[in-house]
Amino acid sequence: MKALDNLRETMRRDRVFDFMLDKHAPAMPGTRAVIEGVVDTTHGPILYLEGVNVAFDGFKAINDLNLYINDGELRCIIGPNGAGKTTMMDIITGKTRPDSGTVFFGQTMDLTRMSEYEIAAAGIGRKFQKPTIFPEHTVFQNLELALQADKRVWPSLFFKLSGEQKDKIDQALEIINLQAERDLRASQLSHGQKQWLEIGMLVVQNPRVLLVDEPIAGMTHQETERTAELLTSLAGKHSVVVVEHDMEFIRSIARTVTVLHEGHVLAEGSMDEVQNDPRVVSVYLGE
Ligand SMILES: Nc1ncnc2c1ncn2[C@@H]1O[C@H](COP(=O)(O)OP(=O)(O)OP(=O)(O)O)[C@@H](O)[C@H]1O
Ligand SMILES: [Mg+2]
């Protein structure tokens, strides 16, 4: 019981879960969309960015960006440092507001009019480079906390895991390959395992879209291979957008690759197509 109380205390303390305490949450449009399961992709992509512009102090970080992500696809985004890849994710998640342009989730949700909280609640999950896990809690408890943060089971501060929810956590443990570590404290995991745990914490919330920025930074070769399998296995059920510099890794998972350069799409296609594109070659070789 003490452990459970501690968990609840952590949830109250930690800003990640602040929104659970927000009485107004169920009335927010994003939340309602999730509760009703409405992400309308019948006539188009799941993510739709068109003519998007963002300038920071006059510098155009995003310049007439057009990007269309299909439901269930695995999209890789590459591009040199400063190309606008992270800024693009900031725009999708509501962290950065575009100066102009259209950003839609499905047909009906205008992401430029939704808060970061609403966007997350609507089903767009983002994995940060520094995992937001609870080091003192076990792997299982971390997944449990993430599940409780799922707006579809709101309000859930004092809920008990149902059989279905336990199954969901077990499935996530299998997906992220941490079954043997379920009762280990998160702090005891390897760097790579921590990254997978965070992905698991997103997965239990059933996001429609998962945004992953530089997932293999600092990973061993084996962890990198495992991460490639993990992300590939998530596609289909989720749309997965991966930003990464490591070309060998990208090649191992790539279907469609988008090359960003100076805030704009320079090329798009299969890995072979973009690698042989003279514009891409020139950007990467700095000619
Ligand atoms: N909040 C901000 N304020 C000012 N400039 C910013 C801000 N965020 C990003 N920039 C600038 O916008 C440009 C694009 O940055 P961004 O981080 O999106 O690039 P990136 O493609 O993710 O690069 P990297 O591969 O190095 O991660 C950079 O020149 C960066 O310095
Ligand atoms: Mg970046």
> For the segment 255-272, what is each residue's pLDDT rounded down to a tens digit?
999 999 999 999 999 999
Residue 256: which domain range? 2-285
The predicted pLDDT at position 150 comes to 59
Look at ligand 1, atom 8, and give the residue with the nearest C-alpha: 87
Where is pLDDT greater, at 143 or 286?
Answer: 143
- What's the rounded Cα separation, in Å, for the pair 243 and 266? 15
Task: Give the rounded percent of residues in the chain with a pLDDT score beyond 90.
Answer: 72
For β-strands 239-243 and 47-56, DSSP reports them as unpaired
Q: Which amino acid is at 276?
A: N
Once rounded to an integer, what is the mean pLDDT over residues 47-58? 97
Residue 215 in contact with ligand 1 by CB distance below 6 A: no
Structurally, the chain folds into a number of domains equal to 1
Which atom of ligand 1 is nearest to 245's Cα?
25
Q: Is the peptide bond before 135 cis (omega within 30 degrees of 0)?
A: no
**Closest listed ligand to the CA of 87:** 1
| Ion ligand 2 neighbours, Cβ < 5 Å | 85-86
The predicted pLDDT at position 30 comes to 45
Give the neighbor-by-neighbor strand order of the sheet with 47-56.
Answer: 59-69, 47-56, 100-105, 109-110
- Which of 131-135, 183-187, 220-224 has the weakest average pLDDT? 131-135
Residue 81 in contact with ligand 1 by CB distance below 6 A: yes
DSSP string, 77-98: EE--TTSSHHHHHHHHTTSS--
Once rounded to an integer, what is the mean pLDDT over residues 44-72? 96
Probe residue for ligand 1, chosen from 49, 87, 243 as the CB with the greatest number of ligand atoms within 8 Å: 87
pLDDT digits (tens, 9 = 90+) for 128-174: 877 789 999 999 999 998 987 755 544 444 567 778 888 999 999 99
If you count DSSP H runs as helices and E runs as strands, how many of each does the chain have, helices first? 11, 10
Vertex 112 angle, CA 109 and 116, to 5°: 90
Give SS3 for 287. coil
The residue count of the chain comes to 287
Cα 85 to middle of ligand 1, angstroms:
8
The predicted pLDDT at position 32 comes to 41
The predicted pLDDT at position 286 comes to 64
Check whether 121 has a pLDDT greater than 60.
Answer: yes
Which atom of ligand 1 is nearest to 88's Cα?
18
Where is pLDDT greater, at 25 or 166?
Answer: 166
Helix pair angle (2-13, 139-148), 10° resolution: 50
Average pLDDT score, the chain: 86
- What's the rounded Cα separation, in Å, for the pair 233 and 224? 14
Once rounded to an integer, what is the mean pLDDT over residues 189-199? 96
Q: What is the domain-level CATH number for residue 102? A: 3.40.50.300
The predicted pLDDT at position 31 comes to 46
Across the chain, the runs of DSSP E, i.e. the strands, are 47-56, 59-69, 74-78, 100-105, 109-110, 124-127, 209-213, 239-243, 256-261, 264-269
Cα 84 to middle of ligand 2, angstroms:
7
Q: Which two tokens stand for residue 277?
A: 């594109």
Which atom of ligand 1 is nearest to 79's Cα?
21
The continuous run of DSSP H or E covering 195 comes out as helix 191-203
**Are the C-beta atoms of 86 and 243 separated by less than 8 Å?**
yes
Cα 90 to middle of ligand 1, angstroms:
10
Once rounded to an integer, what is the mean pLDDT over residues 23-45? 54
- What's the rounded Cα separation, in Å, for the pair 112 and 202? 22
